[in-house]
Amino acid sequence: MPTPDPKTMSAEDFITEVFDLAIKERASDVHFEAQTNSMRIRFRIDGLLEDRFTLPTTQLESVVNSIKVLANLDITVHEVPQDGHFEFYQLPSSSESKNIVSEKAVSSSLLTLGERFKGIFSKSGTTSGSVDASAQTGLSKKAPRVLDVRISIYPSINGESLVARILNRPDALLSLSDLGMMPDTLATVKKLIARDSGMVLVTGPAGSGKTTVLYSLLQELKSKEKNIMTIEDPVEFHLEWLRQSELKPERGFTFSRAMRSILRQDPDVIMVGEIRDQEAAEHAISVSLIGRIVGSTVHSNSTVGTIARFIDMNIERSMIAYAINGIISRRLVRRICQSCPVEYEPEPAQLSYFGLTSDSQKFFKGKGCADCRDTGYKSRIGIFEVLEFESELRSLIVAKAPMSELEAFTISHGMKTLKQDAVEKVLLGLTTLEEISKIV
């Protein structure tokens, strides 16, 4: 793919090429950052931001306004944040990338916009993870994949900065076995979701892939005999076999209203995007205790820390103890590029911290090549800690044992910690000590 040149292309063509390149390079986010004398464009790839383009200030307004039009935002508003989205058609091959205009776009009276963006962009009031085959009749044998792009515009002293998050990416939706769990960890997770009821929580900091894990759990539970429903804000992956809903508080569709109504839909499994407060926690726990499987995410630093977080939300300890089946803590680290691995010796301080020696183990890193853009890493792998709730642990929680005692108990009874899982993956040549030292 040729490098987009903002000096020789219209703003619309430049944006099209930027997003094509972002998808090709597996970027999760595209940053358009207003600076004093320019606009910097960066891609977030494997968790890190990388510079891609610099635009002169004369083109800043046209680029931002073009994206605002796509996201159905007000181009006259510059001093307050705005949020929106649009759909991006990822075409099946480069040979088809300039000639597909869907009949769906035509019927939506958006042909002009489709022509301006060569049929790749389509603005819509709704989002979808797939394109109706009938809409592609006579245009292409392979329907393009639809990616939802979420837009956040934020005013700064240098002008408006914009972040585009690319959702529904093909590399982001993984099966449970592809998340990077070791066989013993995978077996424990499958045991947690094999029960008829109870909560399974996924925890970790922002950007650690909690929602990806949730969707992987749902894929594992997928069955013609199950009614699986979700309550999300926003919907990040669009899947036809799920009954998905997106909260719209401005229209009265709030979390509490969704939870009160969803049980009348006869669900077997309910996925709640995130538990943010006491109300959400109480609703989710109540549903799990009446015979439903509930999956959700929580922002906390560890599995035991999630218990502390629920206590801080004023949830009764007995409810915590008997509603939760287990907690999965996850981090992401970069994976060594498989095209350029070389043996090396880590720093002595890092070896000492992880209790390792270079005498008895071999360590690898990526040398850097065209395949990994000379970074030595390509893609990411999960580091996991899984806490299964059993009778003794439940008794300790109800008895108001301190968090330090709960943590000591879980480790003494065989829970593999994040640190242990990370070291195991270093010794397997999957990542480096430098990477895992950032998370444990």
Q: How confident is the model at residue 233 (pLDDT cuts 50, 70, 90)?
A: confident
Which is more confidently placed, 198 or 126? 198
pLDDT per position as a tens digit, 136-193: 333 344 566 778 899 999 999 999 999 999 987 666 678 999 999 999 999 999 999 9
Dihedrals phi, psi of 201, to nearest 5 degrees: -110, 145
Class of domain 11-166: alpha beta
Q: How confident is the model at residue 328 (pLDDT cuts 50, 70, 90)?
A: very high
Q: What percent of the chain shows pLDDT beyond 70?
A: 85
pLDDT of residue 5: 66
What is the per-residue burial (b if ≥16 Cβ within 10 Å, else e) of 136-164? beeebeebbbbbbbbbbbeeeeebbbbbb
CA dihedral 117, 121, 122, 127 (to 10 degrees): -170
Helix (H) / strand (E) containing 19: helix 11-24
The set of residues, in sequence order, having a beta carbon less than 8 Å from that of 136 and lying 6+ positions away, is 100, 102, 103, 143, 144
pLDDT of residue 135: 35
Average of pLDDT values for 104-111? 32
Residue 339, pLDDT > 70, answer yes
Quick one: tokens of 381?
């792998």
Residue 227, pLDDT > 60, answer yes
- Cβ neighbours, 10 Å, residue 264: 7
Residue 92, pLDDT > 70, answer no
pLDDT of residue 385: 97
pLDDT of residue 235: 84
Residue 93, pLDDT > 90, answer no
pLDDT of residue 143: 60
pLDDT per position as a tens digit, 57-71: 888 889 999 999 999
Q: How far is CA 298 from CA 200, 280, 283, 284, 306, in A?
A: 11, 11, 14, 12, 7
- Report whether the peptide linkage leading into residue 234 is cis, meaning its omega lies within 30 degrees of zero: yes
Average of pLDDT values for 283-294? 94
Alpha helix (H) residue ranges in 236-385 = 255-262, 278-289, 303-312, 317-323, 348-353
Q: How far is the C-alpha of 277 from the C-alpha of 175, rounded, in Å?
A: 29
CB 306 within 8 A of CB 300: yes
- Rounded to 5°, the CA angle 137-142-145 comes to 105
Quick one: tokens of 34?
């207003």
Most confident of 47-56, 109-118, 332-341: 332-341
- CATH code for 176-436? 3.40.50.300
Residues of the chain with CATH 3.40.50.300: 176-436
The set of residues, in sequence order, having a beta carbon less than 8 Å from that of 240 and lying 6+ positions away, is 129, 130
Residues of the chain with CATH 3.30.450.90: 11-166
Mean pLDDT over each residue of the chain, to the nearest integer: 86
Secondary structure of residue 378 in the 3-state scheme: strand
The set of residues, in sequence order, having a beta carbon less than 8 Å from that of 317 and lying 6+ positions away, is 311, 397, 398, 400
pLDDT per position as a tens digit, 255-282: 989 998 999 999 999 999 999 999 999 9
Q: How far is the C-alpha of 302 from the C-alpha of 309, rounded, in Å?
A: 10
- How would DSSP label each residue in 49-111? EEEEEEEEHHHHHHHHHHHHHHTT--TT--SS-EEEEEEEEE-S-GGGTTS---HHHHHTT-H
Quick one: tokens of 168?
């529904």
Q: How confident is the model at residue 225 (pLDDT cuts 50, 70, 90)?
A: very high
pLDDT per position as a tens digit, 348-362: 999 999 999 888 789
pLDDT of residue 79: 93
pLDDT per position as a tens digit, 365-394: 999 999 999 999 999 999 999 999 999 999
